[in-house]
Structure 1
Amino acid sequence: MEQPSRLELVDSLRGYALFGLFLVHSVELFELYWAHPTPSAVHDWVFGLFAGKAFALFALCFGLSFFIIMDRAAQRGVDFSARFAWRLAILFVFGILHGLVYRGDILQVLAPMGLLLLLFHRIRSRSALLLIAALCFAEIPLLIHAWCALAGAAWARQLPHFFTDPSLTILANGSLSEAFRANLVDGALAKWWFYIETGRLTEIAGLFVIGLLLGRSGFFAAPDRFVRQRRVVLAIAIASWVALYFLGPICIESAGRVGDSGGAMRRNVEWAFESWSALAAMTIQVVLFIELYQTAAQPILKLLAPVGRMTLSLYIGQSLVFVPLYYGFGLGMHAWISQAEALAMGVIAFAVQIPLARLWFRYFLYGPLEWLWRALTNTTLAIPFVRRA
């Protein structure tokens, strides 16, 4: 029994998202860079290309995958809503376990936020969904926070909660058990506060909506139908990014000079502009990826498809390999490795993952964790795993 037909374009795009996310994690030394940050050109370039963009692309693909799952179930005459909620609960458990090793895990965030998709799925009006997405992308909570800080509200002028995270020192120097405990409590709280206070949660919700709408429209299933629309979107995204690139610093500096808000107003305005800039940059990357996919570059981009088919396994596997290299309970490489060396290690490691993923799918239908996720979702082990000759 073979898998249902897949969208190789989506798999390839998901593989590209994993590549970008992995390079960010590599340059971050899986978050230990922030224990002793040292600015570098490598950091600036990698973060400029992928930080916030790869994560946003993952959220977009999450919404798209939701549509594909629900649509295929509907074609079989099945309401998959309750089963999808159970599927998210399983993913959340994966995230909790992964978070013990790597506190930057995003599965813990995507899984509970994914419940919103069940609500969005019931809204059939495209205009209503676009309005919801626009409101999410507007980063209204950040702007309200900035205004309240300017108005003198004490709560709005307090330092962000994730600024006072005590767990990094433990990860850099502590034992494995100490790292687990730090990640389970302090690390998890710092992560959630980061997503809440920087506007990432509302951004995720908006990206879920856009992924759902793109799935409904057939944007990835029939890319040839959307050539003109893609190029209009590309032009708008480039113009938006350029405008934000020049206007952002002016607005941020102006916010820093207005009133005595302890830097709170400036921070929130800066986070809002960073979110808008990342969304514009992600849109540019997605459209250019699709455009290249329609050219002679397609065979090269298709090399990412096997990686994209097992992102869950590789995403968690990357942490299991690299966290012990950088953390105090392992080799402690964070103390001496440069970001350039960490980037080189990341590029080589991902280059190795591409043929390994391709080889894996010669013998198996799913990645190992993808199969386990599917089996638990359907509460049966009768899900085929080994590919028949």
Structure 2
Amino acid sequence: MRAPADTNNAHGPPLPVAAIDRLFSIDILRGLALFGVMAINVVFEFRVSIFRQFLPALRTQEAETTFFAGSLSPDMVALLWAVMADSPFNRTIEDILERAIAMKAFALFSLLFGVGLAMQFDRIIPHRRTILLLRRLLVLLAIGLLHLTLLWNGDILTEYALAGLSVLPFLFAPAWLIGAGSFAFLGLYFSGWLMQLMPLPGKAWMLPHVADANHVYATGSFAQVLAFRLAEIGAIAPLHLWIFPRTLGLFLLGILIWRCGVLRHARDHRTEFVLTALAALVMTIDAGPTLVTVTLALAYGALILAVANTALGLRLLGWAAPVGRMAFTNYLMQSAIFSLVFYGYGFGLFGRLSVAPALAIGMVVYALQAIASRWWLAYFRFGPVEWLWRSLMYGRRQPMRIAS
């Protein structure tokens, strides 16, 4: 099923998309992608400095985790050290996350954002498309900048807003031009040229910076953390610039996928999804690290869509749909919660947890969000941030409560 056209005009408020007309499989896919984004963010960016991943010597030694042993047996103490300290168990989890999820979840999210842009374009009446989509992306940019500065400099919203503004003209273009643009931008990303043009700071800068981050983020006040975060943005910028062509290419690919119509009648294309997943997995074999991020994202997405469009798959994965419908709210809430958990103005656990406990915290937060999202959407049409985004986009307050 697909959402109906958003035939809003000056004579009435924009109508929200009816729940019965939503593409639930896309909501499910977005909710699961958000889990991957959460796992990578909490393990590699909130828990420790983002630059630690580029310093192999530091990755072999976790900060020493302390806990109260009390009257625990020696076997229980050994188990706690295996889970909470530097251990093969933690290194295995980190390796799995890095190989199977890191960057792939973000690539899948980028693809879905492109699909969302194309869906919005189709819902809006033609003469209002440009102004409303432009306003929508500018609001996203404003929220992203606030998130980037006040909560966390690993923000992706600002990049998505800028990429959305860049691909906006392609929404009016024919399919061949959208495909050519996607191919060109992904080719630029695969070439690695931007990595050579704009390298990261050297190890001589990273080593003392990681040490400073461990101190400031773990013990600093909000003002101290804010100042350090703002000073760090310039050093992080190359990471965003490296993947910006990939974001553009996947946005355009998402638009193209929506335009080809398979998502509108996903139940009729389950075989095609399975074949796409298999082809993407074959392409992943012996592929370079940049290509793998895209091929695995495509494989994950196609496989989840194939499963979610079966009766059994819908029962197994349907819980993720509310999380996906409120992905914007949940993403920002994760940043707010993790900043309190890891930064000095909260619990100050930055640099003091190994992989397993940090991931466990993230999983608990995600599980609570799944429960809260389902409860919220039983009474309201949108998540709080989604409602604000839509209201600012249309310039008028949107209906929020579901009529009894």
TM bin (shorter chain): 0.7 to 0.9
Structure 2 CA distance for aligned equivalents of residues 16 and 352 of structure 1: 14
Determine if contact 1:32/1:327 at 8 Å carries over to the other structure.
Answer: no
Q: Quote how far apart the aligned CAs of 1:182 are.
A: 2.6
1:171 match: 217
Indicate how the Cα distance of structure 1 residues 345 and 182 shifts in structure 2: closer, same or farther if over 3 A, else same.
same
Cα deviation digits, residues 31-62 of structure 1 (max 9, x gap): 62546653411111122221111111111111
Q: Quote how far apart the aligned CAs of 1:69 are.
A: 0.7
Give the unaligned 5+ runs of structure 1: 150-155, 245-272
1:60 aligns to 2:76 (yes or no): no
Secondary structure of the residue aligned to 1:333 is coil
Residue correspondence of structure 1 range 36-55 to structure 2 within 5 A: 37-39=58-60, 40-55=91-106
Structure 2 CA distance for aligned equivalents of residues 145 and 377 of structure 1: 34
Indicate how the Cα distance of structure 1 residues 23 and 209 shifts in structure 2: closer, same or farther if over 3 A, else same.
same
Q: Quote how far apart the aligned CAs of 1:135 are.
A: 1.7
2:129 match: 80
Indicate how the Cα distance of structure 1 residues 159 and 29 shifts in structure 2: closer, same or farther if over 3 A, else same.
closer
Determine if contact 1:29/1:342 at 8 Å carries over to the other structure.
Answer: no
Cα deviation digits, residues 211-269 of structure 1 (max 9, x gap): 1011111222211343443343223211110131xxxxxxxxxxxxxxxxxxxxxxxxx
Aligned amino acid, residue 154 of structure 2: G
Secondary structure of the residue aligned to 1:3 is coil
Determine if contact 1:325/1:332 at 8 Å carries over to the other structure.
Answer: yes
Q: Quote how far apart the aligned CAs of 1:142 are.
A: 4.3
Cα deviation digits, residues 288-322 of structure 1 (max 9, x gap): 10121133121121111111111111100111111
Q: Quote how far apart the aligned CAs of 1:70 are.
A: 0.9
Structure 2 CA distance for aligned equivalents of residues 188 and 225 of structure 1: 46
Select 1:308's aligned residue among 304, 324, 346.
324
Structure 2 CA distance for aligned equivalents of residues 3 and 239 of structure 1: 38
Structure 2 CA distance for aligned equivalents of residues 140 and 356 of structure 1: 38
Residue correspondence of structure 1 range 346-385 to structure 2 within 5 A: 346-381=362-397, 383-385=398-400
Q: Quote how far apart the aligned CAs of 1:122 are.
A: 2.0
Secondary structure of the residue aligned to 1:243 is coil
1:187 match: 232
Q: Quote how far apart the aligned CAs of 1:136 are.
A: 1.5
Q: Which has the higher mean CA deviation after the structures are superposed, 359-368 or 160-169?
A: 160-169
2:153 match: 103
Q: CA RMSD in A?
A: 2.3
Structure 2 CA distance for aligned equivalents of residues 93 and 235 of structure 1: 40
Q: Which has the higher mean CA deviation after the structures are superposed, 218-227 or 16-25?
A: 218-227
Aligned amino acid, residue 38 of structure 1: R
Cα deviation digits, residues 351-375 of structure 1 (max 9, x gap): 1211110000111111011111111
Structure 2 CA distance for aligned equivalents of residues 137 and 304 of structure 1: 29
Determine if contact 2:42/2:362 at 8 Å carries over to the other structure.
Answer: yes
TM-score (norm 2): 0.79
Determine if contact 2:107/2:250 at 8 Å carries over to the other structure.
Answer: yes
Determine if contact 1:174/1:329 at 8 Å carries over to the other structure.
Answer: yes
Q: Which has the higher mean CA deviation after the structures are superposed, 230-239 or 80-89?
A: 230-239
Determine if contact 1:52/1:275 at 8 Å carries over to the other structure.
Answer: no
Q: Quote how far apart the aligned CAs of 1:3 are.
A: 3.1
Residue correspondence of structure 1 range 216-227 to structure 2 within 5 A: 216-227=259-270
Structure 1 CA distance for aligned equivalents of residues 190 and 102 of structure 2: 22
Determine if contact 2:33/2:108 at 8 Å carries over to the other structure.
Answer: yes
Q: Quote how far apart the aligned CAs of 1:348 are.
A: 2.0
In the alignment of these two chains, the number of paired residues is 345
2:82 match: none
Q: Which has the higher mean CA deviation after the structures are superposed, 79-88 or 132-141?
A: 132-141
Aligned amino acid, residue 228 of structure 2: A
Select 2:252's aligned residue among 206, 209, 222.
209
1:262 match: none
Indicate how the Cα distance of structure 1 residues 144 and 3 shifts in structure 2: closer, same or farther if over 3 A, else same.
closer
Determine if contact 2:134/2:165 at 8 Å carries over to the other structure.
Answer: yes
